A and B are shown apart, each in its own frame.
Chain A
Amino acid sequence: MIVPRKKTRIVLGLTPLIDVVFILLIFFMLVSQFTEWRKIDLTPGATLSGASSDTPSLALDLLNDGTLRVDGKRTPVLSDAVALITADRSRTSIVLGAEDQVAIQRVVEAVDALTAQGLTDVQLLPDPLETES
């Protein structure tokens, strides 16, 4: 005699799937980044444009107290310093120096301001400037 098998309905448990998917979501949320890094070339002792500079240069110094100096002349803000530099048409090469407590962001801002005026012949001094007493 054949006994008919009782049909059992298979119930698919979704809870483990949801757990795994949530763990994956949290993992990707934590390790992903959407910030787009860019690059600038700042090499000490070389011009930013990569060309060797034979033209007479201006000295732009970033000082610890937040002021700047263009060929020995002090200015309080970067825009004034850039205006002084652009006024001197005979010298388009700039030697950028910084005192020992100057943050890199200030150097980059100075390079940004100079590049915006078309001054790409910027040379970064490899050693800190002597601090003014």
Chain B
Amino acid sequence: MKSLRKNTAKWQPDSTLPLINVVLLLVLVFMIAGTVASPLPADFTPLQTVAGEARDTKVERTTITITAQGTILMAGNVLSEDDLRQVFKSAAATGGPVEIRTDARTLAHTVIRTMRLAKDADVSNIEIATLRRSE
């Protein structure tokens, strides 16, 4: 008996193509709009200020992070005080700014002591990194 069903199989564009388009667009958005983040500790609470100036993102800077417990990190590695002095000395030699990203709960004197070490190593430009707090 002859089949009554017509052969309707036609070539159709793959239904995954719009999905790929959307995902590629997302990739582009993340590549263009986002900046690659330097690692921050898991429970890091950034300092928040109302004041504060925009920083020049094109300048090469030495970034150190101070955790709430007072541990000093650079690119995820713990620094001793001697390591820190070396880091500040090389930052002073290049002339670039030193950026301190400190947890909001860190004791003020841990941060001040770190700034003094930087100053003693002749670092002329010390920046405290903050996020803008809306009033």
Contact = CB atoms under 8 A, between A and B. Distances in A.
A22 B23 contact: yes
B118 to A, nearest CB: 9
B23 A108 contact: no
Contacts of A33: 34-37
Contacts of A106: 108
Interface in B121-135: 126-132
Interface residues of B, number: 49
Given A21-B23, A37-B55, A105-B105, A29 B30 contact: yes
Given A18-B16, A104-B104, A112-B51, A24 B27 contact: yes
B26 interface: yes
B55 A28 contact: no
Contact of B126 (A35, A41, A103, A105): A41
Main SS at interface, chain A: mixed
B23 A38 contact: no
B34 A38 contact: no
Nearest to B131: A35
Contacts of A107: 108
A45 B55 CA distance: 23
Contact of B27 (A14, A28, A45, A100): A28
B51 A28 contact: no
A41 B127 contact: yes
Contacts of A109: 49
